[in-house]
Structure 1
Amino acid sequence: MSLDSLEPSPISQTKQDPAWKHCQLFVKKNANGVKEELKKCTYCGKFFKGGGIHRIKEHLAGRKGNGPTCDQVPSEVRFLMKQVLNARNSGAKKNKTQIIISTTPSVDHTPLKLIEAPNLGCSGGGVGNESVDGAFLGSISAPNLDLLANQEEDVATSNVSVDGRKRRRDLNASVLDPSASANSNGGIDFSSPSLVPCEIDNVFANHARSKSGGTPNSKLLVNHDEEEEEEEIGIGGTSMDRKKRFRGENSLVAMDAGIVNNDIELERKKNQEIQMAIGRFLYEIGASLDAVKDSVYFQPMIDAIVSGGTGVVPPSYHDLRGWILKSAVEEVKHDVQQYMGTWRRTGCSILVNRRYSQKGKTFLTFTVYCPERTLFLKSVDASAIIYSPDALYELLKQVVEEVGVEHVLQVITDNTEKLIVAGKRLMDTFPTLYWVPCVAHCINLILEDFGKLEWINSIIEQARSITRFVYKHSMVLNMMKKFTFGNDIVKPGLTPIATNFMTLKQMAELKLCLQSMVTSQEWMDCPFSKQPGGLTMLHTVTNRSFWSSCILISRLTSPLLRVLRIVGSEKRAAMGYIYAGMYRAKEAIKRELVERRDYMAYWNIIAHRWEQQRHPPLHAAGFYLNPKFFYSLKGCVHNGIMSAMFDCIERLVPDTKVQDKIIKEINSYKNAVGDLGRNLAIRSRDTLLPVEWWSTYGGGCPNLARLAVRILSQTCSSISYKQSQISFEHIYETRNCLERQRFSDLFFVQCNLRLRQMVHKNKEQDYMDPISFDCMSLVEDWVMEKEVCFEDCGSSDWVSLNPPTTNTMQLGALVDDDAEDLGTGFDDNEIFDGSK
């Protein structure tokens, strides 16, 4: 279903049923002029056609039998809907009389129960100072966009997907016209582009037929939009008797519903008072508001307070500095010791991050990665040694010895010159580990170089002119959210550079929505559409060349953004996927640009940055040991991959006898000998994580399996957690030794609690408001003016902004796991060779 096939429609104020607050209304006009009404659940995104608001109530309440139920509705909303339905049912039971079924054929009054329940869909600051030579980048011109002319519309619309389930409850289908609402496949026909805003109409009027097949007889039809009531035929059987009983039932239902609504209103006010109390506290202390959505400990805190009843005694200032902090330190240290026990089997990676204080001092933080959890180790004031390779080497050496040389496979840092020198020296001292630059840092630099190309930079600036204008005016922002079904056009990434390309992709996917907006009557009537920014937006959004370039840039950079997400994922270790991810990135560029002279220009940018990675053998070895990728190779394994595997064997396995055994076991792996060739093992190549696969089926080659588990259990990025709110100065400038140790322990607890919650937190579902302070550093260039301007701030009233919709329409193909999206098949030797 295309985005322009639905028109949001306002819900009339006469609709008083509480369920209307939890759904959205859309209207479509068919070719024959008939308006069709669709209701969308606010929480799960399912669409309903017909059934009135009663069907939505059953959906939210979890009542099975008449259609799908919502699995994302908040508990308080589900409880409310159950109360409303129970009140209705109890009212009906009180007035139940003996039912005599009429033998005279009559038109069934039950409205059409066709449910369409699809999830409607359409379709990560700079990290370094390195740059590619300006003349080199300037020589890369824009590709021929004429080749994309016929592809543009396909891309914009191919991202739209509808899948649905329908349930028919009609007791007499012969009185309905099946062609009026369903296509030949049994689904709703959204092919008509003719859509108009409208109020809620009777969507069943055109479906009902009289028993004679002529014009519908309204006396024989019962259609309640607010409630579906069952007509009861008593002994008297007269029309007046039925009407009296019907009115009686409605009166009792209304009374019961009134009591329920009154209770709900009292509960709502009580919750508002609680939420206001929490808000006042957070506002007064100046706490970061993203803690409410980011911290997994917020709700447990509320639950613990509620469970204590009215006699809960809050902790005092001295409690928080005393026994509570002491208990938290002991709890975290116990966790650290527990996870350190897994390092012997999986090995670990030491991650080194550079941080800066408000006073310009440089600090290095050390964390230890293993698949079970990343642990914060310590932080060091490195201001005096950051430019000394010898001093940095001594610091790295000390940390490696503290963790245990036998556990460490790699030390990951950024790619600065001094750390490169220190890292090489560290490898000389410890011949059983690698120093590796951060892959996320490298990918960010590649994207930065792409953005410096003149034609790409021009498109980015044009797109920014749109977003700055939209996010400057509340009226325009509300209108945009309406036409994009609640989606933002700015998409924060892991870094500001990643934000540039994620936002271009987001805008390309919302192309039709934006075009519908600037050509609508609502936009034409908007005073901001006549301003210079509005006119520029109209010109850009209706410019075919702009969208062709946006789509091409998105195709060129999306695979690199996927690699960035893979290395930052907490779901699985990235080592078995990074090599395949880079292969797919180069493959996509070659596929899009076709001509060798065109795609080699972008390949050379990648090669320039990737060479600074020193081609870490661990990446290629991880590819080789991932059974999903290895067994999809056709022919001989590329010599570069095999050489990297041998390098890892020699470096990570110091015992030469064990090395020889591994070489023999590699042949068993190649030929899928023993358990490796079982049908179970073959099927599990695509379903089990690589480490799990080796642990399950690698018993026949124990030495190779042990090495595979250690390599495949590593990460590729030093980006681990959000920076602590505790100022580094508090720790290192406090002159009292006791208080300094207290701050140090507090910092240790905070960092490890943040790392612990990353395991449980689903970051993909987080909504990030582009204009919130918490993500401003990532989107600053997209939502802020180049210069401070105050003259038209009157049009920027945040109070008039509509609240964000957390259940927006899914954009793009829904991919649960970026690593799984890499697929199989690696047969292009030119990509493996990486020749210039």
Structure 2
Amino acid sequence: MFVDHDGQATEIDDFPDLGDETEQDGVSETSDGGVVAPIKEKARGTGKQKVPSEIAKHLRGPVLASARPPRPPSAGAGRQQTSMASFVMDELQKEFDQAIASFFFENAIAFNAARSDSYKNMERTMNEAARSRKMLKLPGYNFLRTKALPTEYKIVDTDLDTIREPWDVTGLTLMTDGTTTTSNRPVINFIAAGDSGAVMVKSVDMEGKDKSAPAFARMWEEVIRELRVHRVNAICTDSAQVNISARKILVEHDDPAIRSIPWVPCACHVCNLLMSDIASVPWIAEVILQGREITTFIKRHQRALAMFRRAGREYKTQLGITDGRPLELIQPGETRFGTNFVMLQRLREVEAVLLATVSIRVGMIPRGIGPLRQGREHARNSYETRCRCEYPYKGIRPGFCK
């Protein structure tokens, strides 16, 4: 039964057999009944009439006994409802991210590891496994320390061929230096560097071995022949006496190819020795000692360090600087002479902050803190004494003195 706009009822007969596909008035029907059905009806009685075409085109599926005019499209007709799949995937992604982050945190892995090529390659492999619907297992302890390590060694060795390839044309510089591992084991490292980059050749464990000049010379010769003599342009070491003596032994070698390889002292070590000689000058040694006293005192006392940082923040505010943090004092190292000069340079840069800390704000210290007060008085007197010093040459006075 269909009710038209005038309120008249019309009955719709069953459709005749139209086969698999019938086309009428531009509307087609398929056997599955899921497409718009053509309306081919016969009216009965005196009120016979066809269903209006504007309504017939909205009839879908099986023929309905009654129909209504189509509703106007809603404002959100073009919007797509959020599926549960995306919600579940978001929750799964959050859980996965947190699991990876926990692995980084628990094992103290640097965040920069997430930028490495191997990390991205691992992500790509996991995505491929997910698309193929394969369940992968993470490698265990024994696999990592046995099978995986030699395989990775071969992969890295293959990648380094691009660095070794130009050596036959450009040559290389053999660099060697001794160091100590975290377990206090002495080792000597050999590095080959060329225009295309540097490669770690080998590391020799020197525990219980001969460390004389002849032993070093034999070791150098072994590495040179391993790299091929015609590739080695020079040998670069520090200026330790044992290295100088080993070089003299190679100069007298029977093989002219090895005998002609020049020895180049390490420029960094030479500069370090130069600073060591400068620091041996009496007045410079005194300045370094006093600078150490100031830096060590402020660094080791929390109250003094807090006052120094507060003075630094106030000084920045006066200058109208809003970005970054105030400069901190640099404590020198025990075995690197260059850090002494870096320390003195930083003292010069924070001179105004030091003056505000040890002079203007002395009254801020409570009277009950005797050792701290005495230490600050000593630091202030030492600083003022250095700044009143008169040196023969004005150009070489300490940088923090006016």
- TM-score bucket of the superposed structures, by smaller chain: 0.5 to 0.7
Matched, 1:515 2:355: yes
What is the alpha-carbon distance in structure 1 between the residues aligned to residue 171 and residue 261 of structure 2? 11
Structure 2 counterpart of 1:496: 336
- Offset, 1:433: 1.5
Structure 1 counterpart of 2:363: 524
Letter in 2 for 1:496: R
Letter in 2 for 1:505: Q
What is the alpha-carbon distance in structure 1 between the residues aligned to residue 384 and residue 184 of structure 2? 47
Give deviations 1:130-169, integer Å, cap 9, x for gaps.
xxxxxxxxxxxxxxxxxxxxxxxxxxxxxxxxxxxxxxxx
**Alignment partner for residue 105 of structure 2, among 267, 271, 279?**
279
Letter in 1 for 2:278: F
Q: 1:410 touches 1:433 (CA, 8 Å); kept in 2? A: yes
- Offset, 1:443: 2.2
Root mean square deviation of aligned Cα: 4.0
Residues 324, 341 of structure 1: alpha-carbon distance in 2 compared, 3 angstrom cutoff: same
Matched, 1:292 2:106: no
Show the 5 A alignment for 1:297-308.
297-300=113-116, 308=126
Give deviations 1:243-279, integer Å, cap 9, x for gaps.
xxxxxxxxxxxxxxxxxxxxxxxxx9x9999766633
| Helix, strand or coil at the partner of 2:176 | strand
Show the 5 A alignment for 1:473-484.
473-484=301-312
- Offset, 1:402: 1.2
- Offset, 1:510: 1.1
Show the 5 A alignment for 1:180-579.
278-282=104-108, 292=110, 296-300=112-116, 308=126, 313-356=137-180, 362-383=186-207, 386-429=210-253, 430-484=258-312, 485-490=325-330, 496-521=336-361, 524-527=363-366, 530-541=369-380, 543-547=383-387
Larger Rg belongs to: 2
- Offset, 1:448: 2.1
Q: 1:354 touches 1:364 (CA, 8 Å); kept in 2? A: yes
What is the alpha-carbon distance in structure 2 between the residues aligned to residue 541 and residue 358 of structure 1? 40
Residues 461, 335 of structure 1: alpha-carbon distance in 2 compared, 3 angstrom cutoff: same
Aligned length: 277
Residues 534, 458 of structure 1: alpha-carbon distance in 2 compared, 3 angstrom cutoff: farther
Gaps of 5+ in 2: 1-93, 313-324, 398-402
Give deviations 1:537-590, integer Å, cap 9, x for gaps.
45535734425779x9xxxxxxxxxxxxxxxxxxxxxxxxxxxxxxxxxxxxx9
Letter in 2 for 1:452: S
Residues 534, 324 of structure 1: alpha-carbon distance in 2 compared, 3 angstrom cutoff: farther
| Helix, strand or coil at the partner of 1:489 | coil
Residues 495, 274 of structure 1: alpha-carbon distance in 2 compared, 3 angstrom cutoff: farther
Residues 466, 313 of structure 1: alpha-carbon distance in 2 compared, 3 angstrom cutoff: farther
Q: 1:518 touches 1:524 (CA, 8 Å); kept in 2? A: no
Residues 465, 302 of structure 1: alpha-carbon distance in 2 compared, 3 angstrom cutoff: farther
Higher-RCO chain (CA-CA 8 Å, sequence separation at least 6) = 1
Q: 2:298 touches 2:305 (CA, 8 Å); kept in 1? A: yes
| Helix, strand or coil at the partner of 1:297 | helix
| Helix, strand or coil at the partner of 1:490 | coil
Residues 465, 487 of structure 1: alpha-carbon distance in 2 compared, 3 angstrom cutoff: same
Letter in 1 for 2:294: I
| Helix, strand or coil at the partner of 2:230 | coil
Runs of 4+ in 1 over 6 A off after TM superposition: 270-274, 301-307, 309-312
Q: 1:508 touches 1:547 (CA, 8 Å); kept in 2? A: no
Identity %: 22
- Offset, 1:592: 3.1
Matched, 1:592 2:395: yes
Residues 324, 360 of structure 1: alpha-carbon distance in 2 compared, 3 angstrom cutoff: closer
- Offset, 1:378: 0.7
TM-score normalised by length of structure 1: 0.29
What is the alpha-carbon distance in structure 1 between the residues aligned to residue 387 and residue 99 of structure 2? 48
Letter in 2 for 1:518: V
Give deviations 1:597-625, integer Å, cap 9, x for gaps.
xxxxxxxxxxxxxxxxxxxxxxxxxxxxx
Give deviations 1:738-757, integer Å, cap 9, x for gaps.
xxxxxxxxxxxxxxxxxxxx
- Offset, 1:477: 2.7
What is the alpha-carbon distance in structure 2 between the residues aligned to residue 528 and residue 302 of structure 1? 58
Q: 2:275 touches 2:337 (CA, 8 Å); kept in 1? A: yes
Gaps of 5+ in 1: 1-267, 283-290, 553-589, 595-836
What is the alpha-carbon distance in structure 2 between the residues aligned to residue 519 and residue 497 of structure 1? 30
What is the alpha-carbon distance in structure 2 between the residues aligned to residue 352 and residue 464 of structure 1? 33
Letter in 2 for 1:369: A
Structure 1 counterpart of 2:56: none
- Offset, 1:532: 3.4
